[in-house]
Structure 1
Amino acid sequence: MEAIIERCAGLDVHQATVVACVLIGEADRKPHKEIRTFSTMTRDLEAMRDWLKGHGVTHVGMESTGIYWKPVHTILEGHFELIVANAHHIKNVPGRKTDVKDAEWTADLVRHGLVKPSFVPPPPIRDLRDLVRLRRSLAEALATEQNRTLKLLESANIKLASVVSQVFGVSGRAMLKALIENTATPQEMADLAKRSLRRKLEPLALALDGRLTEHHRYLLAFHLRRVEAIEADLRALDERIEEKAQPYAAQRRLLRQIPGVDDRIAVAIIAEIGIDMTVFGNARRLAAWAGVCPGNHESAGKKKSTAARKGNIHLKTTLVQAAVCAARTKGSYYKDKYHRLKARRGSQRAAMAIAHKILVAVFHMLARIVPFKELGEAFLDQQARTRTTTNLVRRLNNLGYDVLLRPKVAA
């Protein structure tokens, strides 16, 4: 193999130390090698940066080891061509393994251009990504806390969830607080219902007549405080996300044209892939990176069925959520395609296929700044009609007939 980079470095990153290997030399000669070990304290990382710059290093490669690569990347960013590689892609052959040998192997791969860089978004997108992922974690925590509250109510034989669809709505929350205070009868608590829920006053009174002890009331107050605290955090986080996502308002408006994609999903997609599609090259690479396309498993000329590829789990779940919403959008091509696939392959594979189509649309819309083109719910029927007509005409031509197609006159 011929070397293509004359001055490069490989880093073996750990929690407390970084082993750096510098290779310097022309392509047709054996390179000069220098190895040093640095601490991961900020001052030592800055010293490593200066040491690399002193050797004229242009390219630096490292593995994406947990989160330990991030502070190293932050300090070196803007000074070198950084290559953050998937650890599975640059794994050394089995044998003697040391930190020094890992650094040497990474540097040698970088020198020969054999390391495929992972996608690392620019700092503004990284900040937005952290906020969006934090919001998702908080939303999951809120759902968990609400489920704990519902289980507590069931243990006290309070059947509120059987009558009220939104237990944590305005009416439900007022009844929960009344249960905690323990100063009202079931009929009086049922009378706290608002609007259409007032039609269920008698079932509500029966549902609120349970065996709520002082222990239950303590736990219910505890859970309700937790729910309200998480909701307050979510509101504050939404304001911060809106502020960080303001520069991408035009891209958000574009993505909202896609069926199933609302403003929150549009922000989540931008936070994961950014707005510069040149880093992915084409839509197929983006789909493979996101993990919304099938894997490849071929041996001896036979292709075997495989599960979907592993990819960005945050982006994948967001796209599947959008696909499920798109399948409920009236007049949408995605809805018709989803139900056709669901009948043959099941709901999960159908949702994954629609997620793939949504991501392909996102790629082209962001790459070319073009609006979404809705094919319509009748597109597949029209396509099948055209295909059937073409096939039948070709078969008749092969049998020696001249075919003239003429639309049938309505009776």
Structure 2
Amino acid sequence: MARKNSQQRFEVVHSDCAGIDIGSREHWVGVNPAQHAHPVQRFETFTDDLGRLADWLASLEIKVVAMEATGVYWIPLFELLDARGFDVYLVNSRATRQITGRKSDVLDCQWIWQLMTHGLLRGAFRPADAICSLRSLVRQRANRIRDQAQTLNRMQKALSQMNIQLANVISDISGVTGMKILRAIIAGERCPEKLASMRDGRIKAGQDTIARSLHGNWRLEHLHALTQEVALYDFLEQQIAGCDKAIGQALELLPALEAAPQPATKVLRSSHRSTAEQAMLHQALYRVLGVDLTAIPTIGVDTALVLASEIGPDLSRFPSSQHFCSWLGLAPPTRISGGRQLGGGGPKIINRAAQALKQAASNARNEKGFIGASHRARLSRMDTSCAIKATAHQLARMIYAMLTKGQAYVEQGIEAYESRSQERQFRALLRKARKMGMDLVKAA
């Protein structure tokens, strides 16, 4: 009796696809050898070459294109192919690792084409083009804020080298009092009493204490460094204001999901925006997202802006909240071998939306609602970093439900958490009692 051929072949999912190996100077494109006599073509990265690449793929009636996410070199080609109507898959390089000893640009594009043909590659999440534009502006603003923080550190270094202990008596040298004193020092004022008289009424330290902290050596090189750092700080402040203006314009171009803006539910403050600017940004975010994310405790306008720019209002790409949390890198890792859970964490994921949620979760310690009570309970039984990640996971599930269902956040209160906690404790005691052949009865 003849043996049956048990060999299984991979099913062809995308018969009209192409694989592209991305490079800084050239791109290698691989297609089905049955479609072209020379299935591998090389194109340089100039704009006209990218146009010829798209024309070549269109002549072969290619519909699906897969490419690796290599630095930022994929962005121009991705945007061009996406605008030309191709279904572009941006894949992680971990999913396209070559066999050992078979590594070249030609083999890479052919390998990507082969994997994509059988549907073995998944595209990365990339929001709509308008959201990507907003995302770039928000990230640029974050870079300027980080640069400004470094400038403050260098200002503090110059003051310490002159033995000016101003930072030890006021909490923030970039505040009203600190900047007044620094600008007066740059202008040539050296009298500690006159400098201390610029103290704002909200400063807790007395004028005499501030005057004592302003006795220094006033060396020329440190004064020069301080002058340049203050000028750089002012320049970066203008850059941040320009980013805020561009972000506002980008939000106005996005389609509105809600006609009437919802009023703010809590006091909204920012070190770089006025109250009126915060309110306008809050209303714009509500108009674009259709829900008020700032209604969730610990989430402010800046966090909501990061979330809006990183994920956008449309989460249809994620079938469930579990998929969404996994993309954020907040879900527990799945590492099972031999039927047992393996130790260690999953792959390191750098996600700006997840970082914003973790920052919001770290502020939940003093929150007096349901989220705050949940976070404090986690802190009592696990490590701080694990508790912050778990609370960020909780916030992510809430955000997914709000954006997909269009429902507003409803505060359950600390009483709801205590009620759930008592129910869990009762069920645990009931299980223990039944194991011992006993039963529990609630007191009347």
Same fold flag (TM > 0.5): yes
Q: CA deviation at 1:220?
A: 1.0
Whichever residue aligns with residue 16 of structure 1, its letter is: R
For the residues of structure 2 that align with 1:345 and 1:399, how far apart are their CA atoms?
A: 29
Q: 32, 36, 40: which one pairs with 1:35?
A: 40
Q: 359, 384, 389: which one pairs with 1:347?
A: 384
Q: CA deviation at 1:252?
A: 6.8
Distance 1:302 1:400, change over 3 A: closer
State the match for 1:91 in structure 2.
97
Q: Does 1:383 align with 2:443?
A: no
Q: Does 1:3 align with 2:12?
A: yes
Distance 1:391 1:224, change over 3 A: closer
For the residues of structure 2 that align with 1:338 and 1:402, how far apart are their CA atoms?
A: 32
For the residues of structure 2 that align with 1:321 and 1:252, how far apart are their CA atoms?
A: 23
Q: Residue 279 of structure 1 aligns to a residue in which SS?
A: coil
For the residues of structure 2 that align with 1:239 and 1:328, how far apart are their CA atoms?
A: 33
State the match for 1:52 in structure 2.
57
Q: Residue 285 of structure 1 aligns to a residue in which SS?
A: helix
For the residues of structure 1 that align with 2:153 and 2:298, how far apart are their CA atoms?
A: 27
Which deviates the most, 393-402 or 282-291? 393-402
State the match for 2:268 in structure 1.
none
Q: CA deviation at 1:302?
A: 2.7
- Conserved in 2, the CA contact under 8 Å of 1:294 and 1:306? no
CA RMSD of aligned residues (A): 2.4
Q: Residue 3 of structure 1 aligns to a residue in which SS?
A: coil
Q: CA deviation at 1:363?
A: 0.8
Distance 1:297 1:100, change over 3 A: same
Q: CA deviation at 1:309?
A: 4.5
State the match for 2:305 in structure 1.
267
For the residues of structure 1 that align with 2:138 and 2:174, how far apart are their CA atoms?
A: 24
- Conserved in 2, the CA contact under 8 Å of 1:158 and 1:207? yes
State the match for 2:348 in structure 1.
310
Distance 1:374 1:24, change over 3 A: farther
1:298-337 maps to which residues of 2 (within 5 A)? 298-307=336-345, 309-330=347-368, 332-337=369-374
For the residues of structure 1 that align with 2:64 and 2:90, how far apart are their CA atoms?
A: 11
- Conserved in 1, the CA contact under 8 Å of 2:169 and 2:205? no
For the residues of structure 2 that align with 1:391 and 1:213, how far apart are their CA atoms?
A: 69
Q: 112, 116, 120: which one pairs with 1:110?
A: 116
State the match for 1:296 in structure 2.
334
For the residues of structure 2 that align with 1:400 and 1:73, how far apart are their CA atoms?
A: 66
Whichever residue aligns with residue 200 of structure 1, its letter is: G
- Conserved in 2, the CA contact under 8 Å of 1:7 and 1:59? yes
State the match for 1:121 in structure 2.
127
Whichever residue aligns with residue 390 of structure 2, its letter is: A
Whichever residue aligns with residue 129 of structure 2, its letter is: P
Whichever residue aligns with residue 18 of structure 1, its letter is: H
State the match for 1:245 in structure 2.
251
Whichever residue aligns with residue 227 of structure 1, its letter is: Y
Structure 1 residues not aligned, in runs of 5+: none
For the residues of structure 2 that align with 1:316 and 1:8, how far apart are their CA atoms?
A: 33
State the match for 2:81 in structure 1.
76
State the match for 2:261 in structure 1.
none
Distance 1:390 1:207, change over 3 A: closer
Q: 362, 382, 388: which one pairs with 2:399?
A: 362
- Conserved in 1, the CA contact under 8 Å of 2:196 and 2:207? yes
Q: CA deviation at 1:316?
A: 2.1
Tell me the alpha carbon deviations over residues 235-270 of structure 1, each in whole angstroms, 9 at most, x when there is no partner. 111121122224353327521111111111111011
Whichever residue aligns with residue 127 of structure 1, its letter is: S
Structure 2 residues not aligned, in runs of 5+: 1-9, 255-284
Distance 1:129 1:53, change over 3 A: same
- Conserved in 1, the CA contact under 8 Å of 2:177 and 2:200? yes
Identity rate of aligned residues, in percent? 27
For the residues of structure 2 that align with 1:166 and 1:383, how far apart are their CA atoms?
A: 42
Provide TM-score, normalisation by structure 2.
0.84
Q: Residue 327 of structure 1 aligns to a residue in which SS?
A: helix
Distance 1:259 1:210, change over 3 A: same
Q: How many residues align?
A: 402
Distance 1:390 1:326, change over 3 A: closer
For the residues of structure 1 that align with 2:162 and 2:435, how far apart are their CA atoms?
A: 78
Tell me the alpha carbon deviations over residues 82-110 of structure 1, each in whole angstroms, 9 at most, x when there is no partner. 11110101212212222111111111111
- Conserved in 2, the CA contact under 8 Å of 1:19 and 1:37? yes
State the match for 2:68 in structure 1.
63
Whichever residue aligns with residue 397 of structure 2, its letter is: V
For the residues of structure 2 that align with 1:276 and 1:137, how far apart are their CA atoms?
A: 26
Which deviates the most, 125-134 or 166-175? 166-175
Q: Residue 410 of structure 2 aligns to a residue in which SS?
A: coil
Q: Residue 196 of structure 1 aligns to a residue in which SS?
A: coil
- Conserved in 2, the CA contact under 8 Å of 1:292 and 1:308? no
Q: CA deviation at 1:307?
A: 2.9
Provide TM-score, normalisation by structure 1.
0.91
State the match for 1:257 in structure 2.
295
For the residues of structure 1 that align with 2:183 and 2:14, how far apart are their CA atoms?
A: 68
State the match for 1:207 in structure 2.
213
For the residues of structure 2 that align with 1:201 and 1:316, how far apart are their CA atoms?
A: 44
Q: CA deviation at 1:393?
A: 6.2
Q: CA deviation at 1:6?
A: 2.2
State the match for 1:101 in structure 2.
107
Q: CA deviation at 1:347?
A: 1.6
Q: CA deviation at 1:80?
A: 1.0
- Conserved in 1, the CA contact under 8 Å of 2:334 and 2:346? no
Distance 1:297 1:204, change over 3 A: same
For the residues of structure 2 that align with 1:136 and 1:234, how far apart are their CA atoms?
A: 9
State the match for 1:338 in structure 2.
375
Distance 1:186 1:404, change over 3 A: closer
Q: CA deviation at 1:367?
A: 0.6
